[in-house]
A and B are shown apart, each in its own frame.
Chain A
Amino acid sequence: MILAVILLLFVAGALAWASERLAGGNAPRLVSLLAFAIGLLWAVLEWRAGATVDGLYAQQFIEWIPRFGINVILELDGLSLLMVALTMFLGIVAVVSSWDEIETGKGFFQFNILWVMAGVVGVFTALDLFLFFFFWEVMLIPMYFLIAIWGHENKGYASMKFFLFTQISGLLMLLAILALVYFHYAASGELTFSYKKLLQANLGREVTVWLMLGFFAAFATKLPSVPLHTWLPDAHTQAPTAGSVILAGILLKTGAYGLIRFAVPLFPEASQDYAQWAMLLGAASILYGGAMAFSQSDFKRLVAYSSIAHMGFVLLGVYAFNEHGMQGAVVTMVAHGFSTAALFMMAGALQQRLHSRQMARMGGLWTHAPRMGAMTLFFVVASVGMPGLGNFVGEFLALLGAFQKNVPLAVAATAGIVVAAVYGLHLMQRSFQGAPNPDVAAMRDFGFREMSVMVLMMLGLVWVGVYPQSVLDLSADTIAALGVLP
């Protein structure tokens, strides 16, 4: 069933492309919307149906390349389910947010969105390392196209940088995967890429450190963590709205997911040894991302840097090596998916209306577009970590976890929340409040289409903020099953 859903997205992509020629009009968008809606419905149904004894909601096994012990192993456990549902939901957001933004080549545009998301769903469910890498790379090309074709003024540079960073770090991971498989083969005589079998691999300390670093490089680039983050501000800023929504909302989470699912459990000792360093990178990302966000004059770029800061909490939480930290990371992933997607959608809407992302060209927009103002305020407040909303729960738990492991770093990271409040309110102040900018005569407010997805994301954040237990329950089994926490 999982494979069917992934294939559904692939096929819908081809259909959307073809439908531009056959039917025209809104057909590609409708195909895309329908595919994501079916995917979301499927995720919800699997969730309602409940898990089996071993915590799985769905699983699938198909022989693929027996020569190398490579199989299609797809499993949907709590964490995967959470991420897949988020993926499908953000797919809908991405389609809606670009509804009237993209006019040229809209069929190919939807094709790319659907193929990125197909790759993402694959990444979240694959439990064969080869298959995982396969999907990991499948995400790249369509994303590259989204930026390179429909991006803004500097799209060539941004798309190339995005691709080079992720691809090169991906190659390191591929090498690490192959080396891991080979060493396991040399030790046990069984050639396999199966995650569960490789978990049992017993390798020397020296080797595992290098392998761990190979995985870490790929995931830390995707996350991204300082100092591998430089692709992100460019890619996010230059991407079309839907591209930014997907990038920030879900693609970054594949890095976080990779750390939780692969980097840490496959190499627990090596990860423990280097946990302090990873946490240091996390804290550095939080402070650096915050400081850089504050100094931006570009609305979208500011939000992009804030993503780096938020992902710093994920890194901090994962390498705290306790339940609080890990859970905090997961909740942050979900909450950040909503809040940043909404802010990027806002940035896209502003650019479409004002033809600029510069905050100097904004100011006092609330009077023209109160609905947009209110929405921005809500998501900015969520993003800076207001209690009662999702981000707060995630960051609080991540800090709680980090505090048990390393007090100075946790304190430094907490300062990041203060920085977040500064840049968040700064953003709000310069765009929607203050004296109305005389250059802006009138601006169209959000209509029903935009408001409906905004409200859905609001509800999501409030839900996670007020009743985080529902998310925690879903991921708790997965985290326990990783078997790395004391």
Chain B
Amino acid sequence: MTALQLQALAPYLVLAGGIVLLLVLVAWLRSHVVAFAGSLAVLAAALVSVRLAVDAGDQSIDDLLRVDGYALFFLALFALAALATAVLSHRYLPSRARHRQEFYILLVIATLGAAVTASATNFPGFLLGLEVLSISLYAMIAYPEEGRPPLEAAAKYLVLSGAASSTMLFGMALIYLVTATLAFVEPGELVRNDRVILSLGQALLLAGVFFKLSLVPFHMWTPDVYQGAPAPVTGFVATVSKGAVFAVLLRYALDAGLLDADVLRTVVVVVAALSMVGGNLLALLQANLKRLLAYSSIAHVGYLLIALLVAAAPGVETGLGVEAALVYMAGYFLMTLAAFGVIAVLSSDPAPASESVLPGGSGDAEELSAYEGLLWKRPLLAAVLAVAALSLAGIPLTVGFIAKFYLVAAGVDGAVWVLVWALILGSAIGIYYYLRIVFALAKRPEGESTASSRVRWEGVATVAVLGATILALGVYPGPVVDFVRGLTGP
């Protein structure tokens, strides 16, 4: 291993070293604040060391990982999301768990797993990263000690996710059978039988990946897990876990020519269209904000598949597809984290049940009715949630619009008209339920407004920064566009 490779690995090493350090720290000093501050420090150090890794240039580490701009972009996104999650959990956990220190360690482990997944260039790296991520997530989802919903969600996620992983493993085995390598490479000339086996393997792999991305028809687990999981963790699952899987899927599709086969292309088109329309239709019926956002996330990953199809279309050289995927991912991270962040802030420090303004099944403020009139009680939080909802709906002035614009531009460029129309249709349906959120927020309180539960400044500040970033990038997307273009350009 050369010095440059080490330098490129810096953020990963910081995260891994940080985990060990945190373990020792927690064993020595069981303090919530110390564990919290320690995790923040580790994540921040990882972010800083990204700079180092960038200077090292594109580095391949023993065919296991490739640390390039693409991988580091995702790593930075994951670390930022983890930072936000840590801050939001800081006030969320105390009322729900007695031993809170390990949560932060799990968070950093999950981040490392996601980062490894996103930089994997072969199946072992892929699987290793993904399982490190998933196993930490099971524990994080089940973290609250009281109440059934988190446990139920974690059990459901564990069983189904395990099934998906084994499907993927079987797919990888079949692919290995044909290509005789675990690296992401394009197969050479194949005889007919081999082609069939390869396609079968790739189809199984895709099925597992679609499950992790919760695309229709592999989406059944999503609403339950989103609802049962603690709000900050839900935000983390919705962003980091999906981001990591999408990142590796796109990398595999680009490197191994996954979508060269017409069959698989058709499958992806159908799944994408189903997810966009189905996710949005199902979200229409929800009265629970977490479930609503779960269905909306199904639709959003469906939109993202447009970028995948354009980027991985055979014979396409323009980076517009990859660029659109990265921009969309950044936007999706911001708005999803902002939305779940507001839920988390409002669910932190719940007052005793009788006084609680925002009651909810799992102790979270998740019923839409609980948000009625929030604009008049807590203008800032309500404004952030409204901005996030409008951004998810793709209304201008928000980054969601720019991101969707990118996707449509990519779709028009790649001539995937079916999906462009599905996106338009999905967005049209989506407006209805996103506006329901906004309408509920803006509802004028009927009587005297009740005393609201306490909210803490760190949480409010975090979501406010997210909301402001959504708006800022919506009005002036130049920096992000240039940055992403720098990563994907020639």
Residues of A within 8 A of B (CB): 64-68, 104-105, 108, 130, 133-134, 137-138, 140-141, 144-145, 148-149, 156, 159-160, 163-164, 167-168, 171-172, 174-175, 178-179, 182
Chain B nearest Cβ from A72, distance in angstroms: 10
Q: Is the CB of B431 within 8 A of A133?
A: no
Residue B56 lies at the interface, judged by CB distance under 8 Å to chain A: no
Most buried by B among A133, A140, A145, A174: A174
Q: Is the CB of B444 within 8 A of A104?
A: yes
Q: Is the CB of B395 within 8 A of A65?
A: no
Q: Is the CB of B408 within 8 A of A167?
A: no
Cα distance A115–B373 when bound, in Å? 21
Pick from B376, B396, B485: contact of A134, CB below 8 A: B396
13 other contacts beyond A137-B401, A148-B438, A175-B424, with CB at 8 A cut-off? Answer: A64-B476, A65-B477, A65-B478, A133-B396, A137-B397, A141-B395, A145-B442, A148-B439, A160-B432, A164-B431, A168-B428, A175-B408, A178-B412
Cα distance A175–B424 when bound, in Å? 8
Pick from A134, A138, A175: contact of B420, CB below 8 A: A175
Q: Is the CB of A171 within 8 A of B427?
A: yes
Pick from A67, A104, A137, A175: contact of B485, CB below 8 A: A67
A-B pairs with beta carbons under 8 Å apart, 19 shown = A65-B478, A67-B485, A104-B444, A105-B444, A130-B405, A133-B396, A134-B396, A137-B396, A140-B395, A141-B397, A148-B438, A148-B439, A156-B439, A160-B435, A164-B432, A168-B428, A168-B431, A178-B405, A178-B408
Cα distance A419–B477 when bound, in Å? 51
In the bound complex, residues from chain A placing their C-beta under 8 Å from that of B375 are: 108
Cα distance A343–B443 when bound, in Å? 28
Please name the residue on chain B nearest to A63 by beta carbon: B478
In the bound complex, residues from chain A placing their C-beta under 8 Å from that of B424 are: 171-172, 175
In the bound complex, residues from chain A placing their C-beta under 8 Å from that of B396 are: 133-134, 137-138
Chain B, range 421-454, C-beta contacts under 8 Å to A:
424, 427-428, 431-432, 435, 438-439, 442-444
Residue B413 lies at the interface, judged by CB distance under 8 Å to chain A: yes
Cα distance A322–B408 when bound, in Å? 37
With A149-B444, A172-B424 as known contacts, state yes or no: A178 contacts B395, CB within 8 Å. Answer: no
Chain B nearest Cβ from A214, distance in angstroms: 10
Chain B nearest Cβ from A44, distance in angstroms: 29
Residue B482 lies at the interface, judged by CB distance under 8 Å to chain A: yes
Cα distance A164–B427 when bound, in Å? 11
Residue B325 lies at the interface, judged by CB distance under 8 Å to chain A: no
Count of residues in B whose CB is under 8 Å from the partner chain: 30
In the bound complex, residues from chain A placing their C-beta under 8 Å from that of B432 are: 160, 164
Residue B330 lies at the interface, judged by CB distance under 8 Å to chain A: no
Residue B390 lies at the interface, judged by CB distance under 8 Å to chain A: yes
Q: Is the CB of A171 within 8 A of B478?
A: no
Q: Is the CB of A163 within 8 A of B412?
A: no
In the bound complex, residues from chain B placing their C-beta under 8 Å from that of A172 are: 424
Main secondary structure, interface of B, reads helix
In the bound complex, residues from chain A placing their C-beta under 8 Å from that of B390 are: 141
Cα distance A427–B339 when bound, in Å? 49
Residue B481 lies at the interface, judged by CB distance under 8 Å to chain A: yes
Q: Is the CB of A68 within 8 A of B409?
A: yes
Q: Is the CB of B444 within 8 A of A64?
A: no
Cα distance A134–B442 when bound, in Å? 23
In the bound complex, residues from chain B placing their C-beta under 8 Å from that of A163 are: 431, 435
Q: Is the CB of B442 within 8 A of A149?
A: yes
Chain B nearest Cβ from A112, distance in angstroms: 10
In the bound complex, residues from chain A placing their C-beta under 8 Å from that of B444 are: 104-105, 149
Cα distance A134–B394 when bound, in Å? 11
Most buried by A among B376, B420, B431, B482: B431
With A67-B482, A172-B424 as known contacts, state yes or no: A167 contacts B401, CB within 8 Å. Answer: no
Q: Is the CB of A171 within 8 A of B413?
A: no
In the bound complex, residues from chain B placing their C-beta under 8 Å from that of A144 are: 435, 438
Q: Is the CB of A67 within 8 A of B481?
A: yes
Cα distance A168–B477 when bound, in Å? 24
With A65-B477, A133-B396, A182-B413 as known contacts, state yes or no: A159 contacts B428, CB within 8 Å. Answer: no
Cα distance A182–B420 when bound, in Å? 14
Cα distance A382–B405 when bound, in Å? 44
Most buried by B among A108, A141, A156: A141
Cα distance A104–B442 when bound, in Å? 12
Cα distance A213–B115 when bound, in Å? 46
Most buried by B among A108, A148, A172: A148
In the bound complex, residues from chain B placing their C-beta under 8 Å from that of A179 are: 412
In the bound complex, residues from chain B placing their C-beta under 8 Å from that of A156 are: 439
Chain A nearest Cβ from B171, distance in angstroms: 36
Cα distance A311–B285 when bound, in Å? 37
Chain B nearest Cβ from A47, distance in angstroms: 30
Pick from A137, A164, A178: contact of B409, CB below 8 A: A178
Most buried by A among B396, B442, B443, B477: B396
B466-488, CB under 8 A of A: which get 1 and which 0? 00000000001110011001000
Please name the residue on chain A nearest to B327 by beta carbon: A67
Cα distance A64–B476 when bound, in Å? 7
Chain B nearest Cβ from A155, distance in angstroms: 9
Q: Is the CB of A105 within 8 A of B412?
A: no
B384-398, CB under 8 A of A: which get 1 and which 0? 000000100001110
Cα distance A130–B395 when bound, in Å? 13
Q: Is the CB of A105 within 8 A of B431?
A: no
In the bound complex, residues from chain B placing their C-beta under 8 Å from that of A159 are: 439
Cα distance A12–B313 when bound, in Å? 48
In the bound complex, residues from chain A placing their C-beta under 8 Å from that of B376 are: 105
Q: Is the CB of A138 within 8 A of B397?
A: yes
Please name the residue on chain A nearest to B485 by beta carbon: A67
In the bound complex, residues from chain B placing their C-beta under 8 Å from that of A145 are: 442
In the bound complex, residues from chain B placing their C-beta under 8 Å from that of A130 are: 405
In the bound complex, residues from chain B placing their C-beta under 8 Å from that of A138 are: 396-397
Chain A nearest Cβ from B399, distance in angstroms: 13
Cα distance A440–B419 when bound, in Å? 60
In the bound complex, residues from chain A placing their C-beta under 8 Å from that of B476 are: 64
Cα distance A349–B482 when bound, in Å? 53
Cα distance A159–B442 when bound, in Å? 12
In the bound complex, residues from chain A placing their C-beta under 8 Å from that of B443 are: 149
In the bound complex, residues from chain A placing their C-beta under 8 Å from that of B409 are: 68, 178, 182
Which 7 pairs between the two chains have the least Cβ-Cβ distance? Answer: A137-B396, A168-B428, A134-B396, A67-B481, A182-B412, A149-B442, A171-B424
In the bound complex, residues from chain B placing their C-beta under 8 Å from that of A182 are: 409, 412-413
In the bound complex, residues from chain A placing their C-beta under 8 Å from that of B427 are: 171
Please name the residue on chain B nearest to A174 by beta carbon: B408
Q: Is the CB of B395 within 8 A of A137?
A: yes
Cα distance A175–B444 when bound, in Å? 36
In the bound complex, residues from chain B placing their C-beta under 8 Å from that of A67 are: 481-482, 485
In the bound complex, residues from chain A placing their C-beta under 8 Å from that of B439 are: 148, 156, 159-160
Q: Is the CB of A167 within 8 A of B481?
A: no
Chain A nearest Cβ from B405, distance in angstroms: 8
In the bound complex, residues from chain A placing their C-beta under 8 Å from that of B478 are: 64-66
Chain B nearest Cβ from A53, distance in angstroms: 33
In the bound complex, residues from chain B placing their C-beta under 8 Å from that of A178 are: 405, 408-409, 412
Please name the residue on chain B nearest to A186 by beta carbon: B413
Chain B nearest Cβ from A385, distance in angstroms: 38
Q: Is the CB of B431 within 8 A of A167?
A: yes
Please name the residue on chain B nearest to A160 by beta carbon: B435
Chain A nearest Cβ from B471, distance in angstroms: 12
In the bound complex, residues from chain A placing their C-beta under 8 Å from that of B477 are: 65
Chain A nearest Cβ from B369, distance in angstroms: 14
In the bound complex, residues from chain B placing their C-beta under 8 Å from that of A134 are: 396-397
In the bound complex, residues from chain A placing their C-beta under 8 Å from that of B482 are: 67
In the bound complex, residues from chain B placing their C-beta under 8 Å from that of A140 are: 395
Chain A nearest Cβ from B63, distance in angstroms: 34
Cα distance A64–B408 when bound, in Å? 19
